[in-house]
Structure formats: structure tokens, C-alpha cells
Amino acid sequence: MKKFTFGWNVLFTVGLVLMMCFSAWGAGTIKIGVIGPMNFMQGKGHWNGALMAADEINAKGGVQVGKEKIKIELVKSDSNEFLNVTDATNAMERLMTQDKVDFVVGGFRTEAVLAMQDIAMDYKKLFIGCGAAHPELCLRVAKNYDRYKYFFRGTPFNSGFLVRTCFLQMGYVGELLKNTLKIPKVKVALVAEKAIWVDPMIEAAKGVIPKMGMEVVGVWRPSATATDVTSELSAIQKSGANMIFTVFSASVGITFARQAGELKIPAVQVGINVEGQKDGFWEATKGMGNYILTMDTYVHGVEYNDLTKKFMDTYEKRFKETPTYTADTYAAIVYSLVPSIEAVGSLDANKIIAHMENREYVVPSGKIKYYKDAQGKQTHDLAWGPGYLTSLGVQWQDGKLVGVWPPPKWKMDANSPELNYKGIQPYKIPPWMHK
């Protein structure tokens, strides 16, 4: 009798433990940390994209992990990285230790993301960067794969490719200036915020622009949060520049565009102005940002492929604004992370990484493929160029942001495929440039 009672007790205990374990696992969620400067449009883009992705996946029952469907739970984390890198590292640490997330998406400023990357690597958490562009983030993967393999670039492509895209757009606009305004040699002013992600772009620009048949007339580096750039603009005007190559990711983009418009500086602006990608840019510059051209990922009315319109329509209907590129947290979750989880049937980061590294797949902004370096080492950096990711050139034209680059039937070189993105319109030269 004693043996019988003991046996039943053991079975009861084991059964209870199994039930408790099953219940806890069955009721669990996949926790994804969404980290970014949540009081700025870049962070709002991070959150909105992730929210749309989670709701879409959860509405279908969740993520198929083996035989179970598990829902996604998002954890919002304000990095405050524009103002304080320490705040960003603290936010990432909280995601790891208090919130105990399974994965992380987001990050914006390279200075902060480099630090946040190290924390995520310490905890061996898969982190898909959706904002920072410096090559070092992915060079670390090749240099020390065992430590940094948990990091993937989600968006944008790295700053080396960003600047190459800028050069292509500058070349396109430069030819229009030469042919339309009869300028024999276009003079270019380089204006970029003080930030480390910009440094390699400026060095590249100094070397490449003369080879494009244009002349560099000077370099100006205002603060990323400058509220007055009249001294820089006065110097640029005196330099005789016909074109200003801008590289801005922060609020100085509004200041520069507004004051240049007020002064009617006789030079077109081409390059990167992240604030210029925002719907509220027109109001923020009081219309003075008219005719600036900025590289961008999304603009209403332009489609890369069959996924673009659906993503844009859904996002705009829900959030009443055009998605910025940081909203590609949506693509990072829906097209990158979740398909790999479902393919390997596990939340094991190492299994997911091995699957992600070898995929090619279409997202709303193009096609994703991860590069290897010259020695064949994984970099987890994004492929760039026709057939993969190219981004767009968008221009403010009388209160409306329109896509103007690549022009129809554009080819990067004789061997590249021809690009024809639906909805591209002609570039316009500011009327005061015709005087």
C-alpha cells in the first residue's frame, strides 16, 4: 500500500509539474523590444512599424513555433539617444534584465547603437538595427563573428552605399543644372551635421565629386541640433555654390532648409535630410523647404514592388502619416525575423541566425540579401543596388513630397538591370535658380 501511495504521489507530482510547465509555456509570448528615440519621429516610426507588424501577425493567431502558435508582445523602450547615449544604454539594459525580451528591433544614432549593440551581444540577443548606417556596426560581425553574430542591419543600407546613392542623385541633378541653366562646372558645398556616421561620407564626397566633373567649394559641419545656420549659409552663398550636398539626420535639417529658403540661396539642395522626409516638414519650414531633394525610403504614390502599396496604404490609414524608414521595423519583424523563427521552429537565436543569413526575400522597399566580405565572412550588412535596395530621391514641390529619382528606365551601368519604379515624377529646379 505504501508503494502504491508513493507511486501515485510521484505521478501526481510529475503531472502537476508538467501541467504547470505546459500552461506557462502555452500562455507565453514572444517579447520583442522596440528601442528608439520615442519622443521624435524616428522613434515613433520604430514603434508604429512594429505595432503594425505585431497586430497583423497576432490577428492570424501568432507566430508558428513548432506545433504552437505564440503571440508577439512588444515592449516599448525610449532610448533618448539624440540627447544622451547613457540613456540609450540604460534602456537596452532594462530590455535585457527587467523586460527579458527575446529580440530587439530599432536604434537610430550610430553613437548610441554601437553601445547598445554591445549590451545586446553580452546577452546574446538578436538585435535588428533599424536606423543607424555606420559600416562599423556590421564590420564587427565579420571581425568577431562569435560575439557580434546576433546583430543584423535591417535598414537603411550602410553609409558607404548611402553616399554612393547621393552621388548618383547629385549626378542626375547636376546634369539637369548644366543642361538647363548652362552651368559649365557645377560648384558643390558640403554641409553635414557633426556626427560620426557622417565622417566617412564627407571624406568620400571630397574625393568623388571632382571625379564627377563638379567642384567642391567648401565643407561646413553645424551641430545636429543647431537653431541658426545663417553664418554657414552666408559663406556658402559667397562660395558661389550651385548645389549643396546635405547630410542631416536631426533637427538642423529643418533649420537649414528654412533659412536657406528665406535667403533664397541660389543653390539646389541634394543629399540626406531626414527631417525633410517627414510629412510635417512643410509646416515646420513654413514652406521654405520647397524644392529640397532628400534620399528617402517611402513616398506616397511610388512603388518598388507589389508589397509597397499595401504597406503604405495600411500604415497611412492607421497612423495618418507617411512611414519614415525607421518604420521598417515592420519589415524586420514580418519578413525577416518571423519567417526564420517559423522555418526553424524555434526561438533559439543561433538557429534563427543561420537561417536569416542565407535568405533572399522581397520587402516593401526592395529585396533583402546579406553580404559576406571578401574573405567570405558573414557581415549581416544589406545588399545595395539595382535588384536589391536603392531607396528613392524625393523632392518637395509646392507642399507635396514626390518621388523624382531614379528617373524612368534608369540604369546604374551597362550591366545593371533597368529600374522603373511606379509613380516617379520629373525633378524641378527652384525658379530663383533661373535668374
* Burial zone of 21 (CB within 10 Å; 0-12 exposed, 13-18 middle, 19+ buried): exposed
> Distance (Å, rounded) from C-alpha 277 to C-alpha 22?
48
CB 383 within 8 A of CB 373: no
> Distance (Å, rounded) from C-alpha 274 to C-alpha 49?
17
Question: Is the preceding peptide bond at 406 cis, omega within 30 degrees of 0?
Answer: yes
Q: For residue 8, give the amino acid letter.
A: W
C-alpha cell at 126: 538578436
Pairing of strands 392-397, 293-296: antiparallel
Pairing of strands 103-106, 126-130: parallel
Radius of gyration of the chain (CA): 24
Mean pLDDT by 10 residues, the chain (435 residues): 48 46 58 96 95 98 97 97 93 98 96 97 98 95 98 95 94 96 96 88 93 97 95 97 94 96 95 91 96 96 97 97 95 98 98 97 98 96 96 97 96 91 97 83
CB 360 within 8 A of CB 354: no
The pTM assigned to this predicted structure is 0.86
Complete DSSP assignment for 78-117: E--TTT-HHHHHHHHHHHHHTS--SEEEE---HHHHHHHH
SS3 content of the chain, % helix, strand, coil (to 5): 45, 25, 35
Neighbour-count burial for 217-250, b at 16+ CB within 10 Å, e otherwise: beebbbebebeebeebbeebbebebbbbbbbbbb
CA nearest 322: which of 292, 293, 336, 302? 302
Residues 6+ apart with CB under 8 A from 382: 153, 155, 156, 157, 158, 161, 368, 369, 370, 371, 388, 389
> Distance (Å, rounded) from C-alpha 275 to C-alpha 295?
11
C-alpha cell at 37: 528615440
> Distance (Å, rounded) from C-alpha 415 to C-alpha 305?
21
CB 302 within 8 A of CB 392: yes
Q: For residue 236, give the amino acid letter.
A: I
The per-residue pLDDT for 21 is 41
Q: Look-up: residue for cell 533583402?
A: 368
The per-residue pLDDT for 159 is 87
The per-residue pLDDT for 435 is 67
The per-residue pLDDT for 301 is 95
The per-residue pLDDT for 182 is 94
SS3 348: coil
* Burial zone of 328 (CB within 10 Å; 0-12 exposed, 13-18 middle, 19+ buried): buried
SS3 212: coil
DSSP alpha helices (H): ranges in 128-280?
136-143, 145-148, 159-181, 199-211, 230-239, 252-262
